[in-house]
Chains A and B, each alone.
Chain A
Amino acid sequence: MATAANTTTPLSQSEPASLGRRIVALIPGLLLLAAVGYAGKFIEQSIAAYTKSHHITFPNIEYVLWAIVIGLLISNTVGVPRVFQPGVATYEFWLKAGIVLLGSRFLLGDVLHLGGISLLLVAVALTLSLTFMHILGRTFKLKPKLTSLLAVGSSICGVSAIIAAKPAIDADDEDASYAIAAILALGAISLFTFPLIGHSLHLSDKAYGLWAGLAVDNTAEATAAGALYSDAAGKVAVLAKTSRNALIGFIVLGYAIYWASRGQAQAVTNKAEFLWRKFPKFVLGFLLISLLATLSFFSKPQLASIANLSRWAFLLTFAGVGLRTSFRELGKQGWRPFAVGAIGEVFIALVTLGLVYGADRFLHL
């Protein structure tokens, strides 16, 4: 399942199928996403109600974890039948819609403050991690373009960055598949390790959210890793990750120019057009909703409704994260890209943790 094909949705496919048929094809998978996500919510609520009524002290396990675990169980036992796959692949669509709607929970001032800090930290982490990944790639004798894809994926924003970079640097499909598989596998591991580390270090919601947003690669996993810690941490993780995503065009452009200068990719003729095409448009939607909320365009109950719509969209996303992760498929991709990605990830996680500690102390998050 860990191929580039999984990251596209039928909404943007150009196959000669009628729009009606394509929409109908989405329904089974959408229902599966909703069932898995709602089952996670139901389990969380049932455990909370049971422990409360029996006066048992038990940590609240967020629906996020249950939804992901149920999804993982399905995809790694019976598998996701073909009829469900188009709908399941829409999880990234719901993620982006959810992020835009989440803008309603931020005043623009907070976005600029936290987003500015995030961008500053991203710039430092990016420089260090890109350099480190290239050294690692050379040490492990990976193909240079595969190293570029892994560096882009692990330092900027996961699968989307790899997909954006692949045509720009004219990389092989095989390299892109390896890089995507490594990033997806590492994202799945981050989901479970980050909250544990955050709790053991007693990080505040803001510090943890910033760390998850800066260090976890894929936007879906970063959102889930944040939400697994707390609702407030999830909010900050999305904001930090969105700031990171905004840089995707610049990094991909840098790589495109580098590989073109070596005669191994086509030169970029119109840089402004290139940047706009690679820019994630949902960042603009997020800023627009945040601006509207700041200008009191919505009443308080309306803001609550929009925030809840965002939660429902994320519920579908988290179900999709579990359903699209097949450990067997990920294991087929070879150990070297995974090793380079894993060592790079540990490095990035440590660097960003240090940066977040520093920011918490000196920039007052």
Chain B
Amino acid sequence: MPEPTAPRRGLSLDVYAVALALLLALLVRLNLIPSIKW
């Protein structure tokens, strides 16, 4: 039976998504990207 608490290899998808979102927010804060239109 596999160990259910065995850690998975690599970082989870969530961590990459959070990192990208925070990076984008920081770039906006530092005015390093132009204002984003919708």
In the complex, are the beta carbons of A308 and B37 less than 8 A apart? Answer: yes
Contacts of B2 in A (CB 8 A): 167, 170, 266
A9-37 CB mask vs B (1 if < 8 Å, else 0) is 10110100000000000000000000000
A277 to B4, CA, bound (A): 11
In the complex with contacts A170-B1, A306-B25, A14-B10 CB distance below 8 A: yes
In the complex, are the beta carbons of B4 and A93 less than 8 A apart? Answer: no
A11 to B10, CA, bound (A): 9
In the complex, are the beta carbons of A305 and B35 less than 8 A apart? Answer: yes
Chain A proximity of B22: nearest CB distance (Å): 6
In B1-38, which residues have CB < 8 Å from any A CB?
A: 1-5, 7-18, 20-22, 24-25, 28-29, 31, 33, 35-38
Contacts of A302 in B (CB 8 A): 28-29, 31
Chain A proximity of B32: nearest CB distance (Å): 11
A301 to B26, CA, bound (A): 14
In the complex, are the beta carbons of A168 and B4 less than 8 A apart? Answer: yes
In the complex, are the beta carbons of B36 and A308 less than 8 A apart? Answer: yes
A104 to B26, CA, bound (A): 12
The answer, yes or no, to whether A83 is at the interface (CB within 8 Å) is: no
A11 to B17, CA, bound (A): 10
With beta carbons under 8 angstroms apart, the residue of A101, A274, A312 that contacts B5 is A274
In A273-304, which residues have CB < 8 Å from any B CB?
A: 273-274, 277, 280-282, 284-285, 288-289, 292, 297-298, 301-302, 304
Chain B proximity of A63: nearest CB distance (Å): 10
In the complex, are the beta carbons of B18 and A285 less than 8 A apart? Answer: yes
A257 to B11, CA, bound (A): 25
In the complex with contacts A301-B35, A306-B28, A308-B37, A96-B4 CB distance below 8 A: no
In the complex, are the beta carbons of B16 and A93 less than 8 A apart? Answer: yes
With beta carbons under 8 angstroms apart, the residue of B12, B17, B37 that contacts A100 is B17
With beta carbons under 8 angstroms apart, the residue of B7, B17, B24 that contacts A93 is B17
B3, B5, B7, B29, most chain A CB atoms within 10 A: B5
A78-122 CB mask vs B (1 if < 8 Å, else 0) is 000000000000001111111011001000000000000000000
A248-284 CB mask vs B (1 if < 8 Å, else 0) is 0000000010000000011011100110010011101
- Please give me the residue from chain B that is nearest to A311 by CB atom: B38
A93 to B29, CA, bound (A): 22
In the complex, are the beta carbons of B21 and A100 less than 8 A apart? Answer: yes
The answer, yes or no, to whether A342 is at the interface (CB within 8 Å) is: no
With beta carbons under 8 angstroms apart, the residue of A95, A104, A266, A282 that contacts B18 is A282
In the complex, are the beta carbons of B1 and A265 less than 8 A apart? Answer: yes
With beta carbons under 8 angstroms apart, the residue of B1, B10, B31, B36 that contacts A12 is B10
Q: Which 5 A-B pairs have the closest CB atoms?
A: A96-B17, A100-B21, A285-B18, A281-B14, A308-B36
Chain B contacts to A: CB under 8 angstroms: 1-5, 7-18, 20-22, 24-25, 28-29, 31, 33, 35-38
The contact sample of 28 A-B pairs, CB cut-off 8 A, is: A8-B13, A9-B13, A14-B10, A92-B13, A93-B16, A94-B17, A96-B14, A97-B18, A97-B20, A98-B21, A101-B25, A104-B25, A170-B1, A170-B2, A266-B2, A266-B3, A274-B5, A281-B12, A281-B14, A281-B15, A282-B17, A285-B21, A288-B22, A304-B35, A306-B24, A306-B25, A308-B36, A309-B24
